[in-house]
Amino acid sequence: MYEFNYQNPASVDAALAAHQDADDGLFLAGGQTIVTVMKQRLAMPSDVIDLNGIEDLRGITTRDSVISIGSMTTHADVAANADVRRLIPALSDLAGMIGDPHVRNRGTLGGSIANNDPAADYPAAVVALGATVHTNQRQIDAGDFFTNLFETALEEGELITKVDFPGPEKASYEKIHNPASRFAIVGAFIAKFRDGVRVAVTGAGPCVFRLSEIEDALNADFQAAALDGITVSSDRLNSDLHASAQYRAQMITVAARRAVTKAGQGDRT
């Protein structure tokens, strides 16, 4: 690992100031991606600004049926949280599927979505649930947040503080695992709200995307059979050692059908 200055601010303001002052500052959240990247000498920040000491960024609160998750909340804490289990069990399930137990004890919501790995799980939940990403500067709608491969709407030095997830009527996440990395080859998150269904897919393309054809079909009829005959184009989907674009395209419909069926079974209302 290259050398760097390490900073451990106790507040968001201090973190922002440290980033401002640095030549090339990097926020360190759970570190489950970035420490590995730095270890392989693929990143050379001048300053690493550790967010783990900022208590304000942790925690889960609930108001009405919106769950507000601090950006530095670990996947393990999200998975275990009673309110998340009660209001959005699919989100709890998803968090419990990220990586492995060790990763879940350190990895954070904010770190994950700021990184926007195309095979990460959280982006699918953020988009399908129509979450709102709060930063120190503004609020960003889910639909505007994830912009491209490893890119988000965040500006240089902008820090995610929390993400608000509205509780749906039904939701489910179906993940087809990469057997080596355990990331998503395809991950489909389906959420049904009173005003409509949202379907977001991760793992298949360079960035999470919604599927309007599937959403329309489910809006008309929220069951797996409604998706009969729908195919997803493999254009612009990822192809790699583990899965071709054609396979991913097909698995999107498979995952979507299974998510719908599971969501139907887990009806909270």
Residue 121, classified by CB atoms within 10 Å of its CB into exposed (0-12), middle (13-18) or buried (19+), is buried
Is residue 219 at the binding interface for another protein, with CB under 8 A as the rule? no
Burial 135-174 (b: 16+ CB within 10 A, else e): beeeebebeebbeeeeebebeebbbbbbbbbbbbebbbbb
Ranges within 107-166 binding another protein (CB under 8 A): none
Which among 109-117, 146-154, 171-179, 191-199 is the span making contact with another protein, rule CB under 8 A?
171-179
Q: Is residue 4 involved in binding another protein (CB under 8 A)?
A: yes
Place of tokens 């209302």: 269
**Closer to another protein at the Cβ: 219 or 244?**
244
Quick one: how far is CA 195 from the chain centroid? 22
Among 206, 226, 244, 264, binds another protein (CB under 8 A): 244
Least spacing, CB of residue 28 vs another protein, in Å:
8
Residues 78-107 that bind another protein (CB under 8 A): 99-103, 105-106
- Span near another protein by CB under 8 A; candidates 29-37, 162-170, 192-200, 225-233: 29-37
Give the integer Cα–Cα distance in Å for 162 and 57.
7
Burial of 18 from C-beta contacts in 10 A (0-12 / 13-18 / 19+): buried
Cβ-based nearer residue to another protein, 77 or 158: 77
| Residue pointed to by tokens 């106790």 | 10
CB 135 within 8 A of CB 3: no
Residue with tokens 């973190």: 15
Does 66 sit near another protein (CB under 8 A)? no
58 binds another protein (CB under 8 A): no
Binding of residue 41 to another protein (CB under 8 A): yes
Residue 254 is a binding residue for another protein (CB under 8 A): yes
Q: Where are the alpha helices (DSSP H) in 34-134?
A: 34-39, 75-80, 82-87, 89-95, 101-106, 109-115, 122-128
**Residue 105, exposed/middle/buried by CB under 10 A (0-12, 13-18, 19+)?**
middle
Q: Would you say 62 or 105 has its CB closer to another protein? A: 105
Of 125-133, 139-147, 153-161, 237-245, the window that binds another protein (rule: CB under 8 A) is: 237-245
Nearer to another protein, 107 or 167 (CB): 107
Query: Which residues contact another protein by CB under 8 A?
Result: 1-6, 8, 28, 31-32, 35-36, 38-41, 48, 50, 52, 76, 99-103, 105-106, 176, 178-182, 241-244, 247, 250-251, 254
